[in-house]
Amino acid sequence: MPATISETPTQKLLTVKQVAAALGLSTRTVWKLASKGDLPQPLTLGAKARRWPAADVDAYIGRLAAAR
């Protein structure tokens, strides 16, 4: 079974830098994908705090792998 970002039972929240590293992209590209709707929108935790649930990022990676 492949390792995923969300290996713990609690919901882990990822910063844009962590999402970019997991996808091998720049942070700017992550924001572009999210604004286009290709990547799920992040949760808003405060005025400037946005985080992606690790499970959403894992699901996105799974969809990309399945589309190959």
- Please state, in angstroms and rounded to a whole number, the distance separating the CA atoms of residues 67 and 53: 22
pLDDT value for 68: 86
- Please state, in angstroms and rounded to a whole number, the distance separating the CA atoms of residues 22 and 24: 6
HSE, side-chain direction, 13 A CA sphere, residue 26: 3
Q: What is the pLDDT of residues 45-67, one digit of tens each?
A: 999 999 999 999 999 999 999 99
Going from N- to C-terminal start, the domains of the chain cover: 13-66
Which pTM does this prediction carry?
Answer: 0.81
Q: What number does CATH give the domain 13-66?
A: 1.10.1660
Tokens of 8: 């713990």
Q: What is the pLDDT of residues 10-42, one digit of tens each?
A: 689 999 999 999 999 999 999 999 999 999 999
Assess contact for 37 and 58: CB atoms under 8 A. Answer: no
